[in-house]
Structure 1
Amino acid sequence: MSKNPYLGLYLIMAVLLVLPFVLPNSFYVDLAIRMAINAVIVLGLNLLIGFAGQISLGHAGFLGIGAYATAILSTHFGWHPLLAMAAGAAAAGLLAAMVARPIFKLKGHYLAMATLGLGIIIHIVVRTEAQWTGGPDGMPVPPMSLAGFEISGDKHWYWIVAVLLSVSVWASLNLINSPFGRALRALHGSEVASKVVGVDVVRYKVAIFVLSAVFASIMGSVMAHYVGFVTPNLADFFHSIELVTMVVIGGMASVYGSVLGAVLLTALPQALTSFEGWETVAFGGILMLSMIFMPKGLVPTLSSKFGRGD
């Protein structure tokens, strides 16, 4: 590790402070907001995949739970958006806790298929329960308000997600350098050895799965209120794969890799629009080349090359 693991955090905060003053128009501000939202989600997912070594191919389902919980509770029942967001996070955490023990008895591709199935079930529910969710067409989401002040406009939302990203990076760095984080890395290395030294493997797996689900749910709620509309695509399989790809490209078991992967893969589709119909091919080619030449991800590869840590 580098001597000061928070140097990257200071750099991120400095960039976030300067960015809204140099971006040329609202399109780029919107893109920056989406980057920050994805970065927080990927931070939670990387704690699960990169540090604990547990795959999840249905993580967008938890994103959908948060988005639809805040949409349904605030629209149909008149709940305050913050209370609806908290309820969504609690529901995602509870579901994750309920399914984690049976799911994490599985290994390898069996575990991947189980998490994939969970995500597909959530996606089917939000598509079919049209009386509550609007079905395939989605549903509008009321604006967020705090102390009587309605949050609207890109600039308001930019500062909110900038704070959320900074706090999430800080919390992740502290978590992985705590005894909890060392236990996660231990069970990633060898579950048998972890058990021998007294690590409660099942408890740690459940805890990190719940934590990553809550990360996703909260940011799903934020995305719903920011966009003002939510559709089932938010919880589909392809979105889950996109999130996992951000983890892998940025670098597994790398906090700053999570941020970099989210930033690059959120911006890349926009940068490839000039290919006019070949965007997907170009996108796949870039990902393939990245994994061939940088299999550990961008940040770990560059860190090892220049002799520094995360």
Structure 2
Amino acid sequence: MNTTPVLPRDRSPVLLPGLWVLLLAWPWLAPNDYLVSLGGTFFINLLLIASLNLLVGYTGLTSMAHAAFWGIGAYASGMLAVHLDTSPWLGTLAAMLACGLFSVLIGWPTLRLSGHYLAMATLGFNAIISVLLVGLVAWTGGPNGLIGIPPYTLAGWDLSLPENFYLLCWLLTGLVMLSLSFLQSSRTGRALRAIRSSDIAAACMGIPVLRQKLTIFVLANMLAGLAGALYAHQNLFISPDSFSFSTSILLLVMVAVGGFGQYWGAFFGALIFTALPELVRSFHDTELLILGAAMILVVGFMPGGIAGGLASWRARRQAGRKGATL
């Protein structure tokens, strides 16, 4: 995988707050509530793609079950709220903990292996979760989905309103993305990049490879669980179709299009993942056609994804300016 550096790593914490201030204005600039709610969906998708990029791009762990953990988060919080009348906030915490537990159960044996064993294990796990979501009708609603999920509320503040839910997602996603920007430039981030390059070399440098892999695997999937809970309490309805194996593949495609291992690549991937279905909604199967064409273009012309391509263009431009001044 191409990991051409994008913007200098230490600039992410500086640039991110400015971008987030601009995004704060969206509820007042959007012409209708639907576009405001689409902004909340963008933040949820950003959580998903950034967390998967943390696994695939930064650590080199190919997970094909990210949609399954997204679904576990959504159904765990939704079922607790619907069947046990649990607060959505407690349900969200439980959803993240459930994803963390499943991550340990899967990651502890498979992360010791090399090659594509993790991809195979996560693929099988996604299949199991898909079957359970359809088969446990009494709890999940089966193929018809789970209805009656309550929205978030906070001290009488109705977070089901699009602008209020947008602000909630804006805050939570901003904190996560800021934390990830510091993580990538930290000692742990450097260790992850070493593991991605070579497990053996990283171990020789004294890096606890298994512990680091397992920690990142748990963290990434817990963030997917957070995204799932937000998704459930935004839409107030969830169905197994949203968390199938094909969705896991689609998320991987979005990471690739944005740029493997590129911090800003997650933003491009989330933007495409959010906007494309809306743009091609009236054209049957056009979404798959466009995504297929995008993958061919990325592999052939921008192996570093959109973020990597922009970084290369910027580097060439700066080099040209320096050459012109000499």
TM-score (normalizing by structure 2): 0.89
Report if the CA contact (8 A) 1:73-1:79 is conserved: yes
User: Residue deviations 1:48-89, cap 9 Å, x none?
Assistant: 110000000111111111111111111111111111111111
| Mapped pair 1:174 → 2:182 | yes
Supply the AA of the counterpart residue of 1:305. Answer: W
Q: Residue 40 of structure 2 aligns with which residue?
A: 33
1:131 to 128, 135, 138: 138
| Mapped pair 1:211 → 2:228 | no
| Mapped pair 1:268 → 2:276 | yes
Cα distance in 2, alignment partners of residues 124 and 14 from structure 1: 42
| Mapped pair 1:76 → 2:89 | no
Report if the CA contact (8 A) 1:251-1:257 is conserved: yes
Supply the AA of the counterpart residue of 1:32. Answer: G
Higher mean alpha-carbon deviation, 102-111 vs 17-26, is at 102-111
Q: Percent identical across equivalent pairs?
A: 37
| Mapped pair 1:295 → 2:303 | yes
Cα distance in 2, alignment partners of residues 277 and 112 from structure 1: 27
Label 1:183 to 1:2 Cα distance change in 2 as closer, same or farther (>3 A): closer
Report if the CA contact (8 A) 1:8-1:256 is conserved: no
1:18-97 matches, within 5 Å, as 18-97=25-104
Cα distance in 1, alignment partners of residues 17 and 156 from structure 2: 33
Give the alignment's Cα RMSD to 1 decimal. 1.8
Cα distance in 1, alignment partners of residues 38 and 292 from structure 2: 21
Higher mean alpha-carbon deviation, 97-106 vs 293-302, is at 97-106
Cα distance in 2, alignment partners of residues 18 and 106 from structure 1: 47
Cα distance in 2, alignment partners of residues 283 and 33 from structure 1: 23
| Mapped pair 1:196 → 2:204 | yes
User: Residue deviations 1:237-280, cap 9 Å, x none?
Assistant: 11111211111111111121112111122212222346566443
Report if the CA contact (8 A) 1:12-1:166 is conserved: no
Cα distance in 1, alignment partners of residues 78 and 10 from structure 2: 44
Supply the AA of the counterpart residue of 1:298. Answer: I
Provide the secondary structure at the position in 1 that maps to 2:12. coil
Q: Residue 281 of structure 1 aligns with which residue?
A: 289
Q: Residue 170 of structure 2 aligns with which residue?
A: 162
Label 1:149 to 1:28 Cα distance change in 2 as closer, same or farther (>3 A): closer
Q: Residue 257 of structure 1 aligns with which residue?
A: 265
Report if the CA contact (8 A) 1:133-1:139 is conserved: yes
Cα distance in 2, alignment partners of residues 12 and 36 from structure 1: 13
Superposition deviation, residue 96 in structure 1: 0.3
Q: Residue 324 of structure 2 aligns with which residue?
A: none
Superposition deviation, residue 136 in structure 1: 0.6
Report if the CA contact (8 A) 1:65-1:88 is conserved: yes
2:119 to 112, 119, 130: 112
| Mapped pair 1:240 → 2:248 | yes
Q: Residue 105 of structure 2 aligns with which residue?
A: 98
Superposition deviation, residue 25 in structure 1: 1.5
Report if the CA contact (8 A) 2:59-2:195 is conserved: yes
Label 1:181 to 1:136 Cα distance change in 2 as closer, same or farther (>3 A): same
Report if the CA contact (8 A) 1:268-1:283 is conserved: no
Cα distance in 1, alignment partners of residues 128 and 115 from structure 2: 21
Cα distance in 2, alignment partners of residues 16 and 73 from structure 1: 32
Report if the CA contact (8 A) 2:10-2:185 is conserved: no
User: Residue deviations 1:122-144, cap 9 Å, x none?
Assistant: 11111100001000111121222
Consecutive unaligned residues in structure 1, runs of 5 or more: none
Supply the AA of the counterpart residue of 1:92. Answer: C
Cα distance in 2, alignment partners of residues 277 and 176 from structure 1: 37
Label 1:120 to 1:266 Cα distance change in 2 as closer, same or farther (>3 A): same
Report if the CA contact (8 A) 1:251-1:300 is conserved: yes
Report how many aligned residue pairs link the two structures.
Answer: 309
Superposition deviation, residue 46 in structure 1: 0.8
Cα distance in 2, alignment partners of residues 5 and 226 from structure 1: 29
Label 1:75 to 1:155 Cα distance change in 2 as closer, same or farther (>3 A): same
Superposition deviation, residue 3 in structure 1: 5.8
Superposition deviation, residue 44 in structure 1: 1.1
Supply the AA of the counterpart residue of 1:40. Answer: L
